[in-house]
Amino acid sequence: MLVVGPLNYLVLLRAGRRELAWITVPVIAVTFAGIAYGLATGTKGRSVQANQIAIVHLAGAGDQADQETYTGIFAPTRGDYSITVGGPQPAIAPIATAYGGAGGIGAGTRVQPDPAAVDLVAVTAFTLRGYATESAVPAPSLTASLSLRNRRLSGDFTDEIVAFGNVYQRLGRLAPGADLQVDLPVQAATVYGVAPTNPLVYANIAVDQVASSGVQSAREAQERTAILQSLLSSSSGPVTSLMTPILIAWTHDPLQGLQLNGATPRPQSESAVVLPLTLAGPVSGAVPAGLFTARLVDVEGEVQFGPSSIVLNGSSATYELTIPLASGARLVNPTISSANPYGMKINVPLGPPPAAGNGSPGAAGTAGTDAATLTAEAWDWRGGRWVALPLKDNATSPLPEGSVDAAGTVRIRLTASQASTAAQMGVLSLAGSAQ
């Protein structure tokens, strides 16, 4: 306008019709406003768009699955928007920030649980508001089998990608019921108790500028990368660390319907159906540490949990580890490994139970009975009793004879002699050679 205004004046001055400025100036202003509006609607769209990402977590052969859905509403005009959420009754929470707006949006989002609805109040044009839901849904039909032989995973699968730590195999689009063989090296857990992750299955803007071009294929790759990072980078908990390959099936079909102000908005969806893969048969060959990790199966007394830690208040905790063995097979040279990313965090000596007596020294590496002690024991399946285990932090310890049963199961018990004895063990894992 700074250029057109003077130019308009000069043209009218040359034509000797300066009085027409009362007409030409408003016409020019309206024309430019129309051009700006046309450019905005052409690039941002005239209709409300619903951007949705859904992750369906399958669990075994059950007929129900857990679904988490994240929905963003992109509105080209100001106003209030009322959303009716479809599907099974979900739990709903607003997403805390508004893209293109300032600060939190809690005051601008109202959630109605039954029937499930979300009201977005005072939405600014060309901003993104969002909400998240969790619900139980009928489980899609997705099956897979997996086996471990000589440090490699192999199996038959029926959809698009198998990811295991920082290795993966893309399977392509398969017809329903189709089978495809995969072959992946095993991946051990990191010291943080999680699989090593690789977000580079698909092109993404972290490593590939083409992925930020805005084309549909680049958008799809970036969305899938974000979902994979979320699935594969979950931090470990205090009870168990799972090193589990996963099968992921992708679809662009929206898995949760919605109505916005009584109409269906323009959808943009990326959905993942996730199936954790468990071993369908016995293990053979060498089994590295970090693959079969411990799970907490029993506690006696009062315990408290923290990241990669357990605080035993004069109590005990029992962990179980299993390497599936074939009938008649055995686990040769079994060991227990402790991987702790935070260094030595045992606040008392760790070792076999101390010798009896007031203040008398216990076995090597332990304190006397007057001091707080944290003892480790393994269950002797043959003798039916607990036996001393020389478990060390951030190290590998051999298992006592008879501590692995015919099915390949080991039980470890940690016991604190006094209150507030902490055991930040990180990841406990079982290794050996299945023969």
Q: Report the distance separating Cα 97 and Cα 244, nearest Å.
A: 33
How confident is the model over 173-194, as a mean pLDDT? 64
The domains found in the chain, sorted by start residue, are 4-44 (no CATH), 47-197+244-281 (no CATH), 199-232 (no CATH), 285-434 (2.60.120)
Contacts within 8 Å (CB) and 24+ apart, 25-34: 28/1, 28/4, 29/1, 32/1, 32/4
- Whole-number pLDDT of residue 349: 47
Q: Report the distance separating Cα 152 and Cα 342, nearest Å.
A: 30
- Whole-number pLDDT of residue 391: 81
Q: Report the distance separating Cα 26 and Cα 4, nearest Å.
A: 12
Q: Report the distance separating Cα 237 and Cα 194, nearest Å.
A: 10
Residue-wise pLDDT for 162-182, tens only, equals: 666 566 777 777 666 666 777
- Whole-number pLDDT of residue 39: 72
**Spatial CA neighbour of 391 closest among 307, 321, 286:** 321
If DSSP codes are grouped into helix, strand and coil, which group holds residue 316? strand
- Whole-number pLDDT of residue 405: 93
At 156, phi and psi to the nearest 5?
Answer: -110, 135
Residue-wise pLDDT for 38-83, tens only, equals: 776 665 566 788 899 999 988 766 788 889 999 998 888 888 999 9
Q: Report the distance separating Cα 241 and Cα 407, nearest Å.
A: 21
If DSSP codes are grouped into helix, strand and coil, which group holds residue 90? coil
Higher per-residue confidence, 307 vs 73: 73
Residue-wise pLDDT for 229-286, tens only, equals: 777 665 444 333 345 677 888 888 888 989 998 888 888 888 888 887 766 668 888 8
98: pLDDT strictly greater than 70: no
**Spatial CA neighbour of 81 closest among 38, 127, 37, 113:** 127
Contact of 191 with 425, CB cutoff 8 Å = no
Higher per-residue confidence, 68 vs 305: 68
Q: Report the distance separating Cα 64 and Cα 230, nearest Å.
A: 22
- Whole-number pLDDT of residue 174: 67
Contact of 271 with 254, CB cutoff 8 Å = yes
Query: pLDDT class for 399, splitting at 50, 70, 90?
Result: very high
How confident is the model over 314-329, as a mean pLDDT? 87
Query: pLDDT class for 320, splitting at 50, 70, 90?
Result: very high
Tokens at residue 144, please?
């897979």
Q: Where are the beta strands (DSSP E) in 28-178?
A: 49-57, 64-75, 79-85, 91-94, 109-112, 117-123, 127-138, 144-149, 152-157, 161-164, 167-170
**Per-chain mean pLDDT for the chain:** 74
Residue-wise pLDDT for 344-380, tens only, equals: 444 444 444 444 433 333 333 333 334 557 788 999 9
Contacts within 8 Å (CB) and 24+ apart, 257-261: 257/85, 257/86, 257/87, 258/50, 258/71, 258/83, 258/84, 258/85, 258/86, 259/83, 259/84, 259/86, 260/48, 260/50, 260/73, 260/81, 260/82, 260/83, 260/84, 261/81, 261/82
Tokens at residue 290, please?
């970090």
What is the dihedral sign for C-alpha 169, 172, 174, 178? negative
Q: Is this structure's pTM higher than 0.75?
A: no
Tokens at residue 356, please?
């009896």
